[in-house]
Structure 1
Amino acid sequence: MDEVRTGDAVIGQYDHGQALGILASARPAAIKALAERVLDGFGDVTVISNRTGLAMLPYQDTVKGTAFHLGEVLVAEAQIEVPTRDLEGYGAVVGRDLEHAMAMAVIDAAIAARHQASVILEFLDAERRHQEESDRQRLTLVEATRVQMETF
């Protein structure tokens, strides 16, 4: 993930947007297990919202450079508050997995509180590597398919 930095690092080398991007694409079972672990000793959590809905998917025309909405996408989102720490967390994922969105919100709040930061950073690094490897495998498969199609 050679993303352009959009802000200051909030955990390790990741800015807030990069961390949320990794969490949104994380393997569901892994992020849910991390959220359970992070909740230990974190304090009471109040759910502000936990819902699914449709969101417009923005896109940019690569030729003209104009922005438009490609269509609607189903999104699960969660927002929590941790009153004892005076902070909030937010999570949103494509699809209807409310538990994944809630786990993401818990971890987002934990990052802001610097709660179990080393555990979260280790998770982010591992998921980033997993996502990069998955992307590499997918691109290799696409390239192999393209080559096969050219031989016909």
Structure 2
Amino acid sequence: MFSETPAAGPGHGEMLDILARARPDRLKQHAETLLSAMGEISVIANRTGLVMVPMRDTVKYVDFHLGEVLVSEAHIADAAGHVGYGMVTGRDLERAMAMAVIDLSVAARGQDDATTSFLEQERSHLAAVDEERMRQVEATRVEMETF
């Protein structure tokens, strides 16, 4: 179910990654445009909680838990049994629900042109944000001379 790839656009995992990092206002706005065509939706879960953050020790290659992070989670379904899921960091249940609505829409009807365009715009924006962050990190790099 989660490895299915829509006819157009990114695979399911990549789509969820884009949605989780999408700009909140744009995410909520796009979800609102999809709601009218979706019919009745059942909320399975809509909550906040803590999840463990796993890390891997790069010397011993041993997994350990770095700590906990607060997340908001939404899990919804339609009458036909399609499900939508959203999880975002922080306390923003509306954002998690918007993510789940978009996921449910894609699961039930496939990606429409508006969703494909939204995902592509957000992917481009996130790539630019990531590139700028890496430039800032590189600016702090110090070359050490070894003796």
Shared fold (TM-score greater than 0.5)?
yes
The counterpart of 1:137, out of the listed 128, 132, 138, is 132
The two structures, once aligned, show a CA RMSD in angstroms of 2.0
State the Cα distance separating 1:62 from its structure 2 match: 2.1
Residues 42 and 115 in structure 1, CA contact (< 8 A), matched pair in contact too:
no
The residue that corresponds to 1:121 in the other structure is 116
* Cα distance in structure 2, aligned partners of 1:7 and 1:107: 16
The residue that corresponds to 2:14 in the other structure is 18
1:96 partnered with 2:91: yes
Alignment CA distance shift 1:28-1:137 (3 Å)? same
* Cα distance in structure 1, aligned partners of 2:11 and 2:59: 30
Relative to total residues, which structure has the larger helix share, 1 or 2?
1
Residues 75 and 86 in structure 2, CA contact (< 8 A), matched pair in contact too:
yes
Residues 84 and 104 in structure 2, CA contact (< 8 A), matched pair in contact too:
yes
Residues 8 and 111 in structure 2, CA contact (< 8 A), matched pair in contact too:
no
The residue that corresponds to 2:103 in the other structure is 108
Identical amino acids, percent of aligned pairs: 50
Within 5 Å, which residues of 2 pair with 1:1-152? 7-10=3-6, 12-83=8-79, 85-114=80-109, 117-146=112-141
For structure 1, the 5+ residue unaligned runs are: 1-5
Q: Does 6-15 or 112-121 show the bigger shift? A: 6-15
TM-score normalised to the size of structure 2?
0.88
Q: Does 125-134 or 44-53 show the bigger shift? A: 44-53
* Cα distance in structure 1, aligned partners of 2:96 and 2:64: 26
* Cα distance in structure 2, aligned partners of 1:115 and 1:39: 14
For structure 2, the 5+ residue unaligned runs are: none
* Cα distance in structure 2, aligned partners of 1:141 and 1:59: 23
Alignment CA distance shift 1:31-1:13 (3 Å)? same
